[in-house]
Amino acid sequence: MSDLPPAREIEFIAPAPSTEGSVTLSVHEGGSGPAVVLCHGFPELTFSWRHQYRPLVEAGFRVIVPSQRGYDGSHAPAEIEAYDIDHLTGDIVGLLDALEIDQAIFVGHDWGGFVAWAMPVLHPDRTLGVIGVNTPYMARSPVPPTQALKMVAGDDEGSIYILWFQEPGVAESVLDAQPSLVFEKLMRQARSPAEMMAEVAESGGDMNPFRRLEELPAVGQELLSADELQVYIDAFKRSGFRGGVSWYRNFDRNWERHPEIGTQTIACPTLMITAEWDVALSPALAADMPSRCTDLETVMIPECGHWTQQEKPEELNQIMTDWLGRRFG
């Protein structure tokens, strides 16, 4: 079911500015050659990269797949501030140190994309290159991110899931009680954006599927087998959703602390892989990336939705191994 090797616990001392001391991450790792670190998104796991691990190893790379903080088996502190971008990127730096790796190529999907794009800005000496999967290197918002979203939400802030996530305990109380519904309803094959938006309009225009899981129709072909679905369900039954949701609670903190993210030009080799049918992270969001990335290639995967690694694995693998081979092979 998975080509990932067994995970092992890797402990390191959290780098500054963190004062946490010891941090332990659960990590799948193997292969030889230039290091490639695969950063998962929300609500996902290292398991989401199961189709990419073996092809990347066979292409001649040392592949590292960490379960990031707050997720299955890894460090999960209680403080919300412990999930800001300093800690998330600091974990990657600490992991590289523990593995005695100087530099790596960072690949990020969804929230993992924000981590990957922050690496050349906050830790340029550790970064060989970046691959964004669906998540672009976005321009800095002129106002704090939640303020911008509140302008869109109007009177019903809960209609936008990122705003609904902000109040501690609210999302957890709903998601922790029904992890099976989260993945049964949301992790499905994509449909065209027109179909997706028509469904949103028909349901009242709510852009927050998480708070109404029981009401959501199961639309689109199932993406996971029964056994694969159970991996996600079991993992989030163990960990809950608090850690992953806490990443979202640091959007404004990250914006305030690091104005250079989204404004600083990235000069290392970069690859942006967009998915034609991703409503959450549409290809249009990557259109102006050439103004902030001086060595950029962009490829779009047709008729692909948000769960790219699992929805179009062969296409994604071919694009990544081709670029990695040309630039770092």
Active site residues: 110, 306
Taking a C-beta distance cutoff of 8 angstroms, is the pair 182, 208 a contact? no
Largest CA-CA distance found in the chain, in angstroms, rounded: 53
| Of 65, 189, 197, 37, nearest in space to 127 by CA | 37
Distance of CA 301 to the CA centre of its chain: 18
Q: In this structure, are residues 108 and 133 in contact, taking their beta carbons and an 8 Å threshold?
A: yes
Q: How far is CA 184 from CA 7, 136, 221, 252, in A?
A: 25, 27, 11, 31
Q: Measured between alpha carbons, how far is 315 from 52 in angstroms, rounded to an integer? A: 11
3-state secondary structure of 217: coil
Q: What is the DSSP letter of 64?
A: E
Compute the distance between CA of residue 155 and CA of residue 219 in angstroms, rounded to an integer.
28
Distance CA 163, CA 133 (A): 24
Do 255 and 140 contact (CB within 8 A), yes or no? yes
Neighbours of 235 (CB within 10 A): 20
